């Protein structure tokens, strides 16, 4: 063979990566063969021979004995050629009323349905780890931040449950994505449908699809379900990356709020004091390639005329990479969170200066009748004064308070981190009562 031919073969081949779909390809072919026989398009005995052949090819693949060939391009042709070798010419009947175009659409949908279920389970396990950590530290109050500046006291559990919410929405997104993946494209043929009396509903039942596709052109050229998975994965990675960022920050010496388990950190080769949060950093880093894969498939699809175009073969590597990256990131995070030790002392240390209670002082004045804006102004000046004296609010005398407002009385000293958190007891707030409710809701959602 000429070098240029070999080059082209290598260029157009997808077998190096789509061999991963062998199980789905065989499962789809078996369902198709059964239906062909049921509809008397091929003979029952022919279907049996084909199915036996396919099953033994699956075994060979799983035992590493099957010879994949680049010149046979893709997984479909490789399996079909294998079938010819095994059962002879009757193998040629399998591809009746089918095209590789509806075949690959089917394989991908079968593949993605499994991966979506797995992703949802992994999200659930991660949520579980977060809830465990929150429950084990239910009473801990920490600084809540805006602009990464200390803002108001919150419960650590409340902070962790914010991530629970993100992962809950992710689960919903994957469930939604499942609806679109769960459609049978087989029967669409190359593009126009097939001229045989196939029973699409039967195949759908056999392969456990909820629906059959309603337009053959669309069915062979639709990759929305791939895009939706990758989009949902990108959002999930964004959430993981935000969590990663906080864990990295909190485990720094400057914060010292948490310690990540030894197994999830690595030492430095030259600086013996270091324990680097590599796992969290890599999850943050891998977010980039998952975004990239989404951009890739969107761009591949954007100007394709109907129906199938070979461009679409480019859907696979990005999808596989995203699936693998997401699975491993979710799994490793669920494990890592279980190893986190909370350093309560350091967290309270960070709130030793009590300026984080400024809002509560303003709310205090509001309860005594001052309009909020005015109260805000009073406390701003009070805080400026306290800072200039190097004093905390709790160290100011009532006389000093009175220089700013006559409304302050002894009960101002009752404002604490605990009272601040407890006061925010509206639904969705950070009070212990609300957080307890949120925890039971979370546990219920994990079970669902
Ligand atoms: N390997 C192809 C893909 O992944 C399968 C469909 C090929 N169809 C065709 N007419 N060449 O997209």
CATH code for position 407:
1.10.40.30
Q: What is the pLDDT of residues 103-147, one digit of tens each?
A: 999 999 999 999 999 999 999 999 999 999 999 999 999 999 999
Ligand 1 site, residue 74, Cβ cutoff 6 A: yes
Q: Does position 270 have pLDDT exceeding 90, yes or no?
A: no
381 and 271: one domain?
A: no
Active-site residue numbers? 147, 268
The number of folded domains in the chain is: 3
Q: How confident is the model at residue 271 (pLDDT cuts 50, 70, 90)?
A: confident
Mean pLDDT, residues 220-235 taken together: 98
In-domain check, residue 201:
no
Find the 86 Cα to ligand 1 centroid distance in Å. Answer: 24
In-domain check, residue 203:
no
Smallest CA separation from ligand 1 atom 3, residue: 313
Which of 308, 326, 349 is the last residue before a domain boundary?
Answer: 349
Q: How confident is the model at residue 273 (pLDDT cuts 50, 70, 90)?
A: confident
In which domain, by residue range, is 291 found? 108-196+212-349
Find the 28 Cα to ligand 1 centroid distance in Å. Answer: 16
107, 26 contact by CB (below 8 A): no
Beta bridge partners of 141: 155
Burial of 52-67, coded b for 16+ CB within 10 Å and e otherwise, reads ebbeebbeebeeeebe
Number of Cβ atoms within 10 Å of the Cβ of 315: 20
158 and 88: one domain?
A: no
pLDDT (0 to 100) of residue 346: 98
271 and 150: one domain?
A: yes
Give the side-chain half-sphere CA count within 13 A for 437. Answer: 9
Q: Work out which ligand 1 atom sits closest to the CA atom of 18.
A: 4
Ligand 1 site, residue 100, Cβ cutoff 6 A: yes
Find the 327 Cα to ligand 1 centroid distance in Å. Answer: 27
In-domain check, residue 89:
yes
In whole numbers, what is the pLDDT of the chain averaged over residues? Answer: 97
In-domain check, residue 173:
yes
Smallest CA separation from ligand 1 atom 4, residue: 313
Q: How confident is the model at residue 3 (pLDDT cuts 50, 70, 90)?
A: confident
Q: How confident is the model at residue 4 (pLDDT cuts 50, 70, 90)?
A: confident
Q: Does position 278 have pLDDT exceeding 70, yes or no?
A: yes
263 and 292: one domain?
A: yes
Q: What is the pLDDT of residues 33-62, one digit of tens each?
A: 999 999 999 999 999 999 999 999 999 999
155, 438 contact by CB (below 8 A): no
Which of 76, 96, 116 is the last residue before a domain boundary?
Answer: 96
Query: What percent of the chain is helix, strand and coil (3-state, nearest 5)?
Result: 70, 5, 25
Find the 223 Cα to ligand 1 centroid distance in Å. Answer: 13
pLDDT (0 to 100) of residue 274: 80
**pLDDT over 90, % of the chain:** 97
Mean pLDDT, residues 10-20 taken together: 98
Mean pLDDT, residues 221-242 taken together: 98
Q: Does position 1 have pLDDT exceeding 70, yes or no?
A: no
DSSP 33-58: HHHHHHTTSS-HHHHHHHHHHHHHHH
First to last CA, the chain: 58
Number of Cβ atoms within 10 Å of the Cβ of 48: 13
Q: Work out which ligand 1 atom sits closest to the CA atom of 190.
A: 10
Where residue 292 sits, what CATH number does that domain have? 1.20.200.10
279 and 310: one domain?
A: yes
Q: What is the pLDDT of residues 373-406, one digit of tens each?
A: 999 999 999 999 999 999 999 999 999 999 999 9
| Pure H helices in 267-424 | 278-301, 315-338, 344-349, 358-367, 372-388, 398-402, 417-423
Find the 137 Cα to ligand 1 centroid distance in Å. Answer: 54
Ligand 1 site, residue 312, Cβ cutoff 6 A: yes
Ligand 1 site, residue 112, Cβ cutoff 6 A: no
Q: Does pTM top 0.85 for this prediction?
A: yes
pLDDT (0 to 100) of residue 363: 97
Q: Does position 328 have pLDDT exceeding 90, yes or no?
A: yes
Q: What is the pLDDT of residues 71-91, one digit of tens each?
A: 999 999 999 999 999 999 999
Ligand 1 site, residue 313, Cβ cutoff 6 A: yes
Beta bridge partners of 341: 259
In-domain check, residue 101:
no
pLDDT (0 to 100) of residue 281: 98
In-domain check, residue 202:
no
Smallest CA separation from ligand 1 atom 2, residue: 313
CA 174 to chain centre: 8
């Amino acid at each position: 063979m000429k070098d240029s031919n070999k080059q082209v073969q290598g260029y157009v081949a997808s077998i190096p990566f789509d061999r991963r779909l062998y199980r789905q390809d065989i499962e789809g072919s078996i369902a198709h063969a059964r239906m062909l026989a049921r509809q008397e398009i091929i003979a029952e005995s022919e279907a049996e021979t084909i199915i036996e052949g396919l099953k033994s090819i699956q075994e060979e693949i799983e035992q590493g004995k099957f010879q994949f060939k680049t010149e046979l391009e893709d997984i479909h042709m490789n399996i079909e050629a294998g079938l010819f070798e095994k059962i002879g010419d009757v193998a040629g009947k399998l591809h009746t009323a089918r095209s590789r175009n509806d075949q690959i659409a089917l394989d991908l949908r079968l593949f993605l349905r499994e991966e979506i279920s797995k992703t949802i389970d992994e999200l659930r396990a991660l949520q579980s780890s977060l809830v465990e950590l929150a429950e084990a530290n239910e009473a801990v109050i920490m600084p809540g931040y805006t602009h990464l500046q200390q803002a108001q006291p919150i419960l650590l559990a409340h902070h962790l449950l914010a991530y629970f919410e993100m992962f809950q929405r992710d689960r919903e997104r994957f469930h939604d994505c499942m609806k679109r993946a769960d459609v049978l494209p087989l029967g669409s043929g190359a593009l126009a449908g097939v001229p045989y009396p196939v029973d699409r509903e039967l195949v759908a039942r056999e392969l456990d699809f909820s629906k059959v596709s309603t337009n053959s052109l669309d069915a062979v050229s639709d990759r929305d379900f791939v895009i939706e998975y990758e989009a949902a994965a990108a959002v999930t990675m964004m959430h993981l990356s935000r969590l990663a960022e906080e864990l990295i920050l909190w485990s720094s010496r400057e914060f010292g709020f948490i310690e990540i388990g030894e197994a999830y950190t690595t030492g430095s080769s030259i600086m013996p004091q270091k324990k680097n949060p590599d796992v969290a950093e890599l999850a943050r880093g891998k977010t980039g390639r998952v975004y990239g894969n989404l951009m890739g498939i969107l761009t591949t699809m954007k100007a394709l005329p109907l129906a199938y175009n070979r461009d679409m073969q480019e859907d696979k590597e990005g999808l596989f990479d995203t699936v693998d990256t997401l699975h491993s990131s979710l799994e490793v995070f669920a494990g890592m969170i279980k190893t986190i030790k909370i350093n309560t002392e350091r967290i309270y240390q960070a709130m030793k200066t009590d300026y984080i209670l400024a809002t509560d002082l303003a709310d205090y004045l509001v309860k005594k009748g001052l309009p909020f804006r005015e109260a805000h102004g009073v406390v701003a000046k009070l805080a400026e004064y306290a800072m200039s004296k190097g004093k905390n609010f709790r160290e100011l005398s009532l006389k000093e308070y009175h220089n700013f407002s006559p409304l302050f009385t002894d009960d101002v000293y009752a404002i604490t981190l605990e009272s601040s958190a407890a006061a925010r007891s509206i639904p969705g707030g950070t009070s212990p009562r609300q957080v307890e409710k949120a925890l039971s809701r979370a546990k219920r959602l994990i079970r669902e």
